[in-house]
Amino acid sequence: MSITDLQREIVVSLLLALELYPAAMEAKRSTEVAALKSFFNMAMYRVPVDDDLMENAIKEASKIYTLGALDAAHIAAAKAAGCDEFITTEKPSKPMFKVRGIKIVHFN
């Protein structure tokens, strides 16, 4: 599986950028920063981070107490965009894989 398969439409939010960019930029990993920019430029849709998204993230986190706040927001964004699947590098043993209503796919 490739994240950039031609059949796959990439959906992102600025929350994902917030999670990924800082470490790459601080460590001066220019190749990684360039890859992230390319990935975000390929996105078909950017989910707005607004009050509705945060309300839905709270609902997701309420269903699975151990689901982290940012993970809940990512899931809420994917659901808001009508995504069929959510691709993550999280291990399948993590709380995210208990989420219902969207297929969670482990990518390594």
| pTM of the shown model | 0.88
Domain that holds residue 73: 11-106
In the block, residue with structure tokens 């220019």: 30
pLDDT tens per residue, range 27-41: 999 999 999 999 999
Q: Is residue 3 part of a domain?
A: no
What is the pLDDT confidence band of residue 108, given thresholds at 50, 70 and 90? confident
Contact 42, 2 (CB under 8 A): no
Q: Is residue 19 part of a domain?
A: yes
- The pLDDT, as a whole number, for residue 65 is 86
Q: Is residue 1 part of a domain?
A: no
pLDDT tens per residue, range 43-91: 999 999 999 999 999 999 999 989 999 999 999 999 999 999 999 999 9
